[in-house]
Amino acid sequence: MKSDYEKIRLFKDETYVYLANMTEVDVNSLVYSTFSSQLIDDSDGTILYSVHIFFRIEDIPAKSYLELENIDPYEDGSIHYILENISWVNGLIEENIIISPRMVYGLKRTGTVDLNVFTKIIREKALINERTIS
């Protein structure tokens, strides 16, 4: 299989963040978390973090993508994602894949994947829990 960062990728446009399964292997379930961070005080490096929210998505076919979330144009700071747990149909389980804000690729950027060659799917995401990061 591909490296961790190439298997599941995040893309965005002006409206949505998309999650794409770039592999030939289906995903049984995926748990991800998201939060934002913002530099508050440049002099001492104080960073403010939002609530850390966890979601589960089931049954993501190979070579497919889905709308992960709406982009909030009023949200402050950098948005972070962590693929907490990916359970593949082949039995492989991967955990704690950190996707920095720089790794959420713009769809109009040269060299990114054309999502039109993937199957668009609709999946419900279940809220698992949330916690505040300190």
Domain of 91, in residue numbers: 4-132
User: How open is the CA angle 81-8-16, to the nearest 5 degrees?
Assistant: 60
- Give the total number of structural domains in the chain: 1
pLDDT above 50 (res 88): yes
Question: Looking at residues 33-58, what average pLDDT do you find?
Answer: 81
| Confidence at residue 117, expressed as pLDDT on a 0 to 100 scale | 85
pLDDT for 18: 95
| Average pLDDT in the chain | 85
> pLDDT (tens digit, 9 = 90+) per residue, 16-41?
999 999 999 999 999 999 988 777 77
pLDDT of residue 3: 56
